[in-house]
Structures are given as C-alpha cells and as structure tokens.
Amino acid sequence: MKRASRKADKRPVSSDPAAAAPSAQAAFASYAAPLVGEAIEYANAVREDASPEALHKLRVSLRRLRSLWWAFEPLLEKGENTRQRALYKYLAAAAGKTRDWDILIELLTKEGNGARDMVPKLQDARVGALATSRETLSNADVKHLLREALSSASKELNTAHERMPLRKFATRRVAASERSLKKRMKRARGAKRSNYAAFHNVRKAGKKLRYLLEFFEPVLSGGRKRTLKRLKQIQKRFGTLNDVVASEMLLRDNIALLAGAGVGDTDAALQWLRKERKRRMRAAAGLLRKL
C-alpha cells in the first residue's frame, strides 16, 4: 500500500480550495476524489492485509466519505444522495464486522479480566468474519461503485445552474452540524445512564462535525482549534465506551461459538464488560457535564 501521500490525501487537492474553486459545486471533486482514491486503496489492501489497522483505515475512509456526501446534501438530488450514504454505511459495516472482533479480543487480552482462555475461539471467529468481510467487499466491487458515485455527483454539481460560494456553503453546513451535536449533547445530559443510544448519537454527531472541520477548515473564517480539541475529547471518551458496549453485545450474540471455552470464562468476561460499560458511561457523562 502506498503511504507516502497519505497526509496529502487528507485535505483537498488544492491547499486553498477557495481560490482554486470559488463555488461549492466546483470544489466538490477536490474534496471527494482523494477520499475515493483512499478508500479504494484500503479496500484493495484488505485483500492482502488482515491486520486490524487496515480494516480500521478502510472503515474510517468510508465514514469520511459518508460525512462529505452529507455535507453536500443540499446541492445533490436527495434520493441519490441517500442511496450513496447508505452504500458507504453498508461497506463500512462490512469492514466493521471483523474490526469488532479485534476490539473484543484486545479488551479481553490486555485488560487482565481473567478471560484470556477464550481468546483462541474468538480469534477463530475473527478469521470467519474476515473472510465474510473480504467476500462482501469483493462482490460489491468497491472501486467501480465509488468511482461511479464520484462521477455522478460531480456531473450533477458541475451542470447545476446555481452557484454558492464555497466559504458561505461550508460555514452553513458546519453550523448545521454544530447545532445537531449540541442538540444531542443536551439529550444525553438528561438521559438515563442505561440509555446508551443517547450517548452513541453524541459520538456520531461529534465525529461528523470533526470530519467537516477537517474538510473545510482552510476556507472557514475564525479558528476552530478549541472546537477540535473538544471533539477529540468526545471521540476518545465516547469511543472507548462504544468499544465496550459493542464488545459486550458481540459476545452475548455469539455465546454458542464459545462452547468448550468454559462457562466460567464467558460469565467472567461478560461481568467484566458490564462493569466496564458502567464505568465508561459515568466517564462519558462526566465529560458532557464539563463541556
């Protein structure tokens, strides 16, 4: 996999999209093309590289694409935009199935919770999930799908009669994302500790806003360092909570796979995950109160 150009791919082709492409419509391809190329590269790499890192990078690149298509939603045909975002979600979920096993194995291996004897069976399950992920991504023909999505959206935007200044457009979409995050944070603050969905929605909204700021920061007026710092705090704190919640659910849904691993081991792992979930939920709630 090519790595030399990785940092450059995280920003639009032009270092100053406002100068190179004065309208949002014209700037779209400079944001989307590098992300599409990156996702295709990672999808190809997953065929040869079974490491957790490769799958994680593929999933992140697809999430970034989904956020970009959300950002340009007001300028794109609604039905097609919804289908494209659903496609990115589907492909990310395909990569995520294997990634979820990686997280569960990592938690049970490193946290000293007395459930390490289960790991060999979990690794077997991970091998099966990887085979399914690879098959799904291969059958989907990621390269063709993503290039077709880029071509279709670019054509629609380039032939649009109206034009909106990129800075004005970016400011509006970032503001909409900020309102969404604040609304979800307010709901989560008033939610019961058992209501994980409210916390999960904060994490998703924060991640979307962070991606939009990474896309548009060069053309936005004013600094966003403080906002990005807060978003990184949310992503880290709520991400560790999500890891435990997803791992607990995965283990409960696959109890039958652990036959022979020892009932005590399974019960001990679930008990530890349950306690860890409560601890991390308190930590996430504490961060919300500070922000």
Minimum mean pLDDT range among 50-64, 67-81, 250-264: 250-264
CA 124 to chain centre: 25
* 14, part of any domain: no
* 169, part of any domain: yes
Give me the pLDDT at residue 154, please: 95
Per the structure block, which two tokens stand in for 243? 């890891």
Please provide the average confidence, as pLDDT, over all residues in the chain: 87
Query: How many domains is the chain partitioned into structurally?
Result: 1
Indicate the DSSP class of residue 115. -
* 151, part of any domain: yes
pLDDT score of 24 more than 50: yes
* 247, part of any domain: yes
Longest dimension (CA), the chain: 66
pLDDT score of 284 more than 90: yes
Q: Which residues pair with 165 in a beta bridge?
A: 23
Residue entry with tokens 């309208």: 23
Give me the pLDDT at residue 1, please: 44
Q: What is the pLDDT of residues 160-200, one digit of tens each?
A: 888 999 999 999 999 999 999 999 999 999 988 788 999 99
> Mean pLDDT, to the nearest integer, of 265-282?
90
Give the Cα separation of 268 and 276 in Å (integer). 12
Per the structure block, which two tokens stand in for 291? 């922000």
* 17, part of any domain: no
pLDDT score of 223 more than 90: no
* 18, part of any domain: no
**What is the value of pTM for the model shown?**
0.85
The separation between the first and the last C-alpha atoms of the chain, rounded to the nearest angstrom, is 39
Q: Which residues pair with 23 in a beta bridge?
A: 165
Question: Whose CA is closest to 27, among 223, 211, 164, 173?
Answer: 164
Give the Cα separation of 217 and 223 in Å (integer). 8
Residues 6+ apart with CB under 8 A from 239: 203
Residues 6+ apart with CB under 8 A from 213: 174, 220, 224, 227, 228, 231
Owning domain of residue 56: 23-290
Give me the pLDDT at residue 192, please: 85
Q: Which residues of 66-86 are buried (b: 16+ CB within 10 A; e: fewer)?
A: bbbbbbbbebbeeeebeebbe
The CATH number of residue 60's host domain is 1.40.20.10
Give me the pLDDT at residue 32, please: 97
Amino acid at 105: I
* 143, part of any domain: yes
* 216, part of any domain: yes
pLDDT score of 77 more than 60: yes
CA angle 191, 229, 219 (to 5 degrees): 115
Give me the pLDDT at residue 84, please: 94
